Structure 1
Amino acid sequence: IYPIGLFWAFLNGALFVGYIMLGHRVARTGAADGIAGLGAAMAVAFVVVLPIGFTDALPAFFSPPLLIAAVGVGICSSVIPYACDQLAMARRSE
């Protein structure tokens, strides 16, 4: 057993607990079952990441297959899971 591995495992667990607690609070206080808060968070994340990845992603905007793939990955990896997560957290009891 590696001590650094245990450190990262416990840190991951602690951060996941924080994510669940914060996500539940956002889902409970947000409008439309937490989806409005999720939309705002996605918009903020977009603005933060845009300057970092824009030049690397620029060729995809001129290639329809790449653009369709990027939209599909975004929907399947972020929109659907996080929307389901927020809807479930909004229904979770205290």
Structure 2
Amino acid sequence: MEAKSNLRTCPKGHQYYKSSDCPTCLICEKERKPSFGFLSLLGAPARRALENHHILTLEQLAEHSEKEILAFHGLGKSTIPILKTALKEKGLSFTDL
């Protein structure tokens, strides 16, 4: 069964269609995507998961284990190789808790 899309308006006035209950405005999300840095390599759900846990730098990311990061809602196994590569390029890695 296909979900019906509903027209929504975000607090900034953007109008967009969405079929899920997720309140995230697609237009706002696209506007706030970083243009550089490791967060720019991630999809919106993974980026929001890290931001919601106050992980904004690779140094902050390196303070966590891979297992901890995978437990964040919105972050899946496909994101881990991207994060590992970014950490490695900076001479960092996940902690071994």
TM-score (norm 1): 0.25
Which structure has greater strand proportion? 2
TM-score where L is the length of structure 2: 0.24
- Greater RCO, CA 8 A, separation 6+: 1
Structure exhibiting the larger radius of gyration computed from Cα positions? 1
